[in-house]
Amino acid sequence: MKVSKVSDAASSLGSPTAAGWSSAAAETVKLGAIPVAAQPTAYIQEAWAKRPYASTSRAKVAAATDGERLYVRLEWADDAKANGEFPDGAAVVFPGAANSAVETLGSAAAPVGLWYWQNGRAEALEIESHGPGVFRKQASDGIKATAALESGRWSVVLSGPATAAKGGKVGVVVWNGTNEERAGLGAVSQGWLGLEQA
């Protein structure tokens, strides 16, 4: 995926509806489920054995940087059915080790890092993930998120230090709150997406 270089990113890319994103190259990423047998507790495995999850099939991803910060824009179709309990969410995933797997959201030996947005949370979170839903909140490194829901589609921009992209690849997770998706039940990109300077 091409990472656009811009000079005034905060104003041109800070919002998911900002005009700057219209010229950024976006890729559509296929998302899939982490197998139920890989879920971290026997409870989750049993409770979700016969329930479909990871219900968001694809997301559009675009990225840009001003050299200091990396901006990643995610866009996907919202499940419009009402759910008052669980919020929608999304995350950008970065490898924490050379052999980190995005498909399982990392492991104890090879974790991944998440920039995590959840609808209704005042602030984005930085998370180290040791497996599906095995999340550890980290001290925030200035991760920011802005989101918009328009015409049945979510668009979210997550931004943070450009050094997060040093591994040269990112992944994506989308949680459909309507379907009570949380932890390792979100829809995860099926492989890393390589980053290259535009």
The residue ranges that bind other proteins (CB under 8 A) are 39-44, 46-47, 84-86, 118, 120-121, 132-137, 182-184
C-beta closer to other proteins: residue 5 or 121? 121
C-beta closer to other proteins: residue 39 or 100? 39
Can you say whether the dihedral through the CA atoms of 31, 36, 41, 44 is positive or negative?
positive
The least distance separating other proteins from the CB of residue 40, rounded to whole angstroms, comes to: 5
- Decide if 27 contacts 61 (C-beta within 8 A): yes
C-beta closer to other proteins: residue 135 or 192? 135
Q: How far apart are CA 118 and CA 145, in angstroms?
A: 9
The least distance separating other proteins from the CB of residue 36, rounded to whole angstroms, comes to: 13
The least distance separating other proteins from the CB of residue 6, rounded to whole angstroms, comes to: 33
List beta partners, residue 26.
62
C-beta closer to other proteins: residue 65 or 179? 179
C-beta closer to other proteins: residue 8 or 46? 46
The least distance separating other proteins from the CB of residue 156, rounded to whole angstroms, comes to: 17
The least distance separating other proteins from the CB of residue 167, rounded to whole angstroms, comes to: 24
